[in-house]
Amino acid sequence: MGRQLPVLPSPAPAASRQDSPEWVRISMASAIALRFRSGRFSRDFDFGGINLLLNYDEGCRSDCGYCGLARTRPGDYNDKSFIRVEWPLVRTDDLVSRMVEHEDKLTRLCISMVTHGHAYADTCDITERIVAGVRTPLSILVAPPTLNRERLERFKELGVDMIGIGLDAVTEELFRNLRTNVPAGRLSWEKYWEIVTDSREIFGPWKVNVHTLVGLGEADEDLIRLFVQLREREIFSYLFCFNPEPDSRMADHPKSPIRRWRRVQLAKHLVESEGYGLDAFGFDPEGNLLHIDGGQDQLESVVDTGIPFVTNGCPGENGEPGCTRPYGSYRPSEPFRDYPFVPTADDLTEIRQQLRLADVLQ
Ligand code: SF4
């Protein structure tokens, strides 16, 4: 028997709704890749990660302090942005047809759920339509309040390849302040971790990821401790950079300085790919990163690969970059925070200046 789920408010009937499962939103980059919208990226790179978002007139029932879709953020839901960019609305069946047409270019598909009473049923429906049409690996970025173990098992049976959990706030205190004890929040830290554990058991090693947001008020030590814990459980941690959404409760909260962001990217890579433990890093009493073990040559050669600075995301079928979310952590007019391709020599020159590696080698 599955655990009883909270009762979420039912949507009111409406004459001309454009709700899931018949309709979904897709990221602007996905809309360009699938030729729903014309446009080009500022740099030339292959792009095949398609991100879908469930759509409801009532929007998401949660109320996270930093999110563009939060319930108490002013404005009509349909005008709200998500991670600061427009997400065009398309018919699900048209989207699947485009995926079939462009399948050779696709690397990873992902359905982002929202907290809504219909989200689970609609995600199953959309998953069935997608897997009937294309073989590109599919992830679900889940909404834990709508799920339990049985429902995760159902996703697996339907052909879902990976599960993402948007924890975002990496400490319990921050999670409570930003996602639980807020006007219409009520999200539960324990429930998020229950879904992480169940997903790991059902989907297996390196088939689950936890999204972590840098810049919500956490210390570097909090982030690195979590990266180590997740690696020990063979769960990926994926980095996202907090990007203030206008009118959200955190609209005036500053973005993390680029130097801090680059060092966190490097630290996460060292933990996940080079076997670093927490004791290989030194911190001040506030938890700010002061030192990284390893020596200049070793760390320089890791930086030279460029890999620590590539966007974290579920991989393609053969381990190549899959979900690369161009402009997910920065505006098109801003410098890349993470790169949807391996940074070039010029990019690396800029990255080294931002990183100031010598300062953390002392
Ligand atoms: S990394 Fe991309 S594909 Fe994977 S769960 Fe997150 S949004 Fe989805």
pLDDT tens digits along 233-287: 999 999 999 988 887 889 999 999 999 999 999 999 999 999 999 999 999 999 9
Per-residue pLDDT tens digits for 103-114: 999 999 999 999
Residue 42: what pLDDT? 78
Give me the mean pLDDT over the 165-191 stretch. Answer: 94
Those residues whose C-beta lies under 8 Å from the C-beta of residue 76, and which sit 6 or more positions away, are none
The amino acid present at 73, given as its one-letter code, is: R
- Pocket lining: 136 vs ligand 1, CB cutoff 6 Å: no
Look up residue 269 and give its DSSP letter.
H
Ligand 1 pocket: which of 51, 114, 235 to mutate (most atoms within 8 A of CB): 51
Cα(36) to centroid(ligand 1), Å: 21
**Residue 328: what pLDDT?**
77
Q: Which one is predicted more confidently, 310 or 74?
A: 310
Q: What does the pLDDT read at residue 12?
A: 47
Phi, psi of 253 (to 5 degrees): -75, 130
Q: What is the CA(314)–ligand 1 centre distance, in A?
A: 5
Confidence of residue 77 (pLDDT cuts 50, 70, 90): low
DSSP 103-166: GGG--EEEEEP-S-TTHHHHHHHHHHHHHHH--S-EEEEE-GGG--HHHHHHHHHHT--EEEEE
**Residue 7 above 80 pLDDT?**
no
pLDDT at 79: 58
Q: Is 313 in the pocket of ligand 1 (CB under 6 A)?
A: yes
Alpha carbon 243 to chain centroid distance? 13
Residue 2 banded pLDDT, cuts 50, 70, 90 = very low
pLDDT band at 78 (very low <50, low <70, confident <90, very high): low
Query: Is the pLDDT score of 148 beyond 90?
Result: yes
State the pLDDT at residue 55: 95
Give the model's confidence band at 85: pLDDT under 50 very low, under 70 low, under 90 confident, else very high.
low
The residue that leads in pLDDT, 233 or 329, is 233
Whether the predicted pLDDT of 82 surpasses 80: no
Q: How far is it, in rounded angstroms, from Cα 196 to Cα 250?
A: 26
* Helix, coil or strand: residue 54: strand
* Overall average pLDDT of the 223-227 stretch: 98
CA angle 284, 231, 360 (to 5 degrees): 30
Mean pLDDT of the chain: 91
Distance separating alpha carbons of residues 306 and 136, to the nearest angstrom: 26
Q: At 75, is the pLDDT very low, low, confident or very high (cuts 50, 70, 90)? A: low
Confidence of residue 3 (pLDDT cuts 50, 70, 90): very low
| Mean pLDDT confidence for 289-295 | 95
The arithmetic mean of pLDDT across residues 122-137, rounded, is 98
Give the domains, in start order, of the chain with CATH numbers: 23-360 (3.20.20.70)
The pLDDT value recorded for residue 81 is 52
Q: What is the pLDDT of residue 71?
A: 72
The stretch 312-324 carries a mean pLDDT of: 94
Find the 290 Cα to ligand 1 centroid distance in Å: 31
Instruction: Check if the beta carbon of residue 288 is closer than 8 Å to that of residue 220.
Output: yes
- How confident is residue 76, by pLDDT bands cut at 50, 70 and 90? low
The better pLDDT of the pair 189, 68 is held by 189
Res 27: pLDDT: 93
- Choose one of 323, 329, 338 to mutate for the ligand 1 pocket test, by most ligand atoms within 8 angstroms of C-beta: 323
